[in-house]
Structure 1
Amino acid sequence: MPLALSERVIVERAQMLPAFPTVVNDLLMTLDDDNATIGALIQLVGRDPVITARVLSIANAAAMAGRIQRDVRDMQVAVSLIGVARLREIVLTLSLAEFAHGAHVGRQFWEHSVAVGVAAQELARIGRASVDFALVCGLLHDIGQLWMARCHPLEFQMVRMSREQEPGLDIIEAERRHFGVDHCAIGSVLAGAWQLPPSVVAAIRHHHEAHPPADKLVAATHVGEALANALDLVGHDQASVVEVSAGACELLGLHWDDDLNFLFGRIEARSRFLNRIFS
């Protein structure tokens, strides 16, 4: 008998998870603000001493690589060394890494999320969509599974057992059998409750669907997970996308007949680099 989970119950039980980092929402809001300045971004980062320390650490590493004999202790200097785009990526990844760590998530779950985030970024770049929004979509695409594991561990294990006993059983079907809903639906409810942008909510909700998406971020997340699994970056197969939407690839301008080795290599290198930094 599957669980009877309403949106209200999902949100209430999300209290078992760590508080969602508000810096993510604040940073994403600055992307739509034409008046947002580097100073405002630095002020935003400065609220969190952990993030500030990590940014300065990365800036110092960049300074050493560039043979700059200087101990970077100022955020303005740090931004000049690593760039605004890199700063946003660091803040988003680190804040969500802290969130996942606080939820006691397994290492493989987080490494897979990073791989999908990076793949979604690279695909968003091809499709001329926001790489920052794509990163968040990828990092949070399986957040519903984290909720399942924390709030209903017995049923979560039953899903795993069902797939072991029935090879080929789709993860979505297995989850609906025991939870009544799948991790995509649960994740989208959580994202909505955290007041994330509608495009992020949609990407989380529809990342397993093979029909043509109407949004490039949905497409990037959907194809991004398929690529992360196909490249076998972390050996994660618990929530793999079974069928890749041809419409999603078309929307992104991704053509499999092209030489995509550079894209694959970049996804692999960047995902391993980020996982090494933020593990």
Structure 2
Amino acid sequence: MNAHLDLASLLGGAILPSPAWRRHWLATLFQQQVPFDELAEQLGCDPALTGKVIGLANAAVPPGERKHAAIDAAMLAAIGLPALRQAFAIPARPTATCAHFDEQRFWSHSQAMACAARVAGEALQLAPAKELYTCGLLANIGQLAIAMLHPQAYGELLGQHGSAARALLLCEEAWRFGHHQLALSASLMRGWGMPDILCDAVRCHAAPPGCGQAGRMTELAWLLQLASSFADLILRNGVGPRGPATAAARVLGLDVEHMETLLRHSNAEWSEWRAILEPHAHIALGRTRSRIRPAARQVFSEFI
């Protein structure tokens, strides 16, 4: 093992990087005091900021009470704009460029996986849809953390194994850094106060049968694997092998036709989000995706 990850620094307040334009745009929103529902939507499309806000909210939850696992307007109102402004006044930790780490693909895949987890989760009713959205968004945040903490070493590792099977990449990450990206994602989520069952599902979703546990957590892990496979397909415009998605769908009790319907609706929701993920989207204040989402409700009715 050649390097160790400074997990304590991430949980102690350091903010993982976000696109510079997005941080500037959010600072503008904080100053202009937009409605909390619009602010929640803007924050909720960024993995790093989502984790930070959920951790901030859960730090104020009394022992024994249920903690937050998703961003919403009520949570932000409870935190208050002054505390939010103070939290985000801390600059993101500057890092060197991590070769072979495609940041734009990371942001896009995280959002696509979040959309897919929400759509599939609403259809299957395994957990609240907004919490599954957060799980999909944060599922790979560990990779962002590795790229930030060890840009040179991780760039070298990606150069050697970035195109290999994911299982091999995870093994190499664990040997090199002491944590693979999914274990680190789960550790960060747990540190932010999210429920253990969601953290465990994130940790093992790359290979759910190997997690050694049966029951709801395993179902959640399979759902996240389905969402990850959907995200891969969405970013390839639906072109590519369906094997991983079909295998996960089968375990979850979905036939191919139902799976393709969920994929179409996941892609439709991703398309709505993409309109506010582009750098130019911050020009129009209050630009948000549609809140009606008839396609999502149609998916729900088809499978319940």
TM over 0.5: yes
Contact 1:124–1:252, Cα closer than 8 Å, also in 2: no
Contact 1:136–1:200, Cα closer than 8 Å, also in 2: no
Instruction: Give the structure 2 partner of residue 151 of structure 1.
Output: 149
Check 1:25–1:225 CA distance in 2 against 1; reply closer, same or farther (3 A cut). Answer: farther
Check 1:234–1:115 CA distance in 2 against 1; reply closer, same or farther (3 A cut). Answer: farther
Instruction: Give the structure 1 partner of residue 261 of structure 2.
Output: 262
Q: Report the CA distance between 1:43 and its aligned residue.
A: 4.7
Contact 1:2–1:178, Cα closer than 8 Å, also in 2: yes
Contact 1:175–1:183, Cα closer than 8 Å, also in 2: yes
Contact 2:208–2:221, Cα closer than 8 Å, also in 1: no
Of 217, 220, 234, which residue of structure 1 is paired with 2:220?
217
Q: How many residues are treated as equivalent by the alignment?
A: 209
Q: Structure 2: how far apart are the matches of 1:108 and 1:195? A: 27
- Give the partner amino acid of 2:273: L
Q: Structure 2: how far apart are the matches of 1:275 and 1:206? A: 28
Instruction: Give the structure 2 partner of residue 277 of structure 1.
Output: 276
Check 1:121–1:11 CA distance in 2 against 1; reply closer, same or farther (3 A cut). Answer: same
- State the identity %: 20
SS at match of 1:21: helix
Gaps of 5+ in 1: 35-40, 51-97, 236-241
Q: Report the CA distance between 1:148 and its aligned residue.
A: 0.4
Q: Calculate the aligned-residue CA RMSD, in Å.
A: 3.8
Contact 2:222–2:252, Cα closer than 8 Å, also in 1: yes
Q: Report the CA distance between 1:193 and its aligned residue.
A: 1.1
Q: Structure 1: how far apart are the matches of 2:201 and 2:262? A: 21
Contact 2:116–2:230, Cα closer than 8 Å, also in 1: yes
Check 1:114–1:102 CA distance in 2 against 1; reply closer, same or farther (3 A cut). Answer: farther
SS at match of 2:235: coil
Of 108, 118, 121, which residue of structure 2 is paired with 1:111?
108
Q: Report the CA distance between 1:192 and its aligned residue.
A: 1.2
Check 1:229–1:119 CA distance in 2 against 1; reply closer, same or farther (3 A cut). Answer: same
Q: Establish whether residue 21 from structure 1 lines up as the match of residue 53 from structure 2.
A: yes
Of 177, 192, 195, which residue of structure 2 is paired with 1:194?
192
Gaps of 5+ in 2: 17-48, 67-71, 83-87, 95-101, 279-304
Query: TM (normalized to structure 1)?
Result: 0.61
Q: Report the CA distance between 1:263 and its aligned residue.
A: 1.9
